[in-house]
Structure 1
């Protein structure tokens, strides 16, 4: 049987994969497409429920991505021998257009615009496990039809 403290590693793995360039949506970087989908909204946030495969705000373009990360989360639980019953909720939050923090900038990379990525897992005891990363997304270079 797995240990609940391993949920932190799972959350970190989800965020690491989500932030990477391998997060592909229709041939484009997933974070860039997510930003484009909320660019016109006042709230520049996206929430993905890993348990129910729901995304808010909803755009059908992201159905495959939400399904992929939900399955990844469940696979990681199985790999770590953690029963799904131990999970009350699990979310990925992405917040765009956050304040720039110099300490998060890699001097060899393009600056882009900062965004915060957080994976929150709540177990059946009510304990909240969070993993977060600050990323950067490059300004729009394609059009997105919503």
Structure 2
């Protein structure tokens, strides 16, 4: 069943990212994978915002996350799955390295898989106001 395989792939992907094993994480993705945080447009104040397309851009994106945050909790509360998508919901608490403030947020992850079970879209939605407050950004 594709849904079970996709769940295993996503779990492996997340484990690789948190272990900073980016090459192994990207091997679970298509070459033109698209990582989107909050919106497609980039933002000079928050470098993780925007669309990051391709494995090299994905690797850079996750390296930037690791430079930005001291990862704390990242817990999944629930998920919805079918043969092509997994949508997960949860909570996180990460410390911003530069400010020392904790970024607390509910999150939603939307992941799409291609026909052979590789990740082709990884989209995160979090509380942007809480993130910008923890980064000490004012708009």
TM over 0.5: no
Tell me the TM-score normalised to structure 2 length: 0.31
State the structure with more CA Rg: 1
TM-score by length of 1: 0.30
